[in-house]
Amino acid sequence: MIKRTLFISTPYKLSLKNNQMLLGSKDTDNIYSVPIEDIGFLILEDPRIIVTMPLIAALNSQNVAVLFCDQKRMPTSMLLSLESNNIQNETFRLQVASTIPLNKRLWKQTIEQKIKNQALHLKKQSLPYQQLVNHSQKVMSDDSTNREGIAARTYWNTLMGDTFIRNREIENSNTLFNYGYIILRAAVARALVGSGLLPTLGIHHHNRYNAYCLADDIMEPYRPYVDELVYAITQEKGIDHTITKEDKVTLLGVLTCDVKIGKQKRPLMNALSQTTASLAKCYNKELNKITYPIFE
């Protein structure tokens, strides 16, 4: 089942009744309702939104990823369940006990697939891509030669032009990438929790101030799905275009876009669950590779 993504940008009061999320406004008598079990992601953009504690508890029980936005209306924090998997304790222990060689091997695979997907994205846009294919074939254990960074320079220059600099602080089309990646990161974190994994404990990222290191690891091969949406926006509106409400709605569509994973196509949010479940199986030695999508 594809879960719904709700984007709320007006000052509603959100409450709970009969396992339904109620949306009411002081400016109107209209009340809207949404079944809690249908929701996968809830983005709260307006700082005047009021949310009741019973609703938060109900959302948490259904592993709904709730994203809160700052004064610039950009997602800045996230609420996730800590009890959404019935063998969570066992999976936590296996994850914590994972060996350095395993993590190095999984990171090599992750970067290989990221670069391959970047190459496939360039190919889809009829842009030169063979150099990235070559980079993907030279990734070593733990990406010790930083093939990811080398490939990134080629990728961004080819996709966005030589004058483009990928910088989260620059307010041009970078804001589109920032928003899309934040949504993707939240979706990955939700899938990890659903698979009984700790989003904090990464296989490569280890920043002591980052609560979502593992999400940052696993999202890497999925980034081109965001890039494709941003590229389409910038082709229409220009590289200096900054994000609008319309763009945000477009970027939220990444969660339901079809991706090829294994021998099937499925919505990205469902593919993420397959990816994170395969990672849990790597930790308990049922698998030796993570199941990642192949960009089409």
DSSP for 37-48, written as a single string = GGEEEEEE--TT
- 130-166 tens-digit pLDDT: 999 999 999 999 999 999 999 999 999 999 998 888 8
What stretch of H or E contains 124? Answer: helix 100-124
What stretch of H or E contains 107? Answer: helix 100-124
Torsion of CA 99, 101, 104, 105, to 10 degrees: -110
Among 261, 279, 280, smallest CA distance to 271 is for: 261
pLDDT at residue 84 in the model: 59
pLDDT at residue 216 in the model: 94
The CA distance from 80 to 24, in Å, is 24
pLDDT at residue 223 in the model: 98
* Strand-pair partners of 265: 260
Q: Which domains does the chain possess?
A: 4-79 (3.100.10.20), 88-294 (1.20.120.920)
Its pTM stands at 0.90
pLDDT at residue 86 in the model: 58
pLDDT at residue 28 in the model: 74
* Strand-pair partners of 281: none
Contact 172, 240 (CB under 8 A): yes
pLDDT at residue 163 in the model: 87
Q: Give the chain's residues under pLDDT 70.
A: 1, 82-87, 208-209
Cα distances from 150 to residues 44, 132, 135, 164, in angstroms, run 37, 9, 8, 16
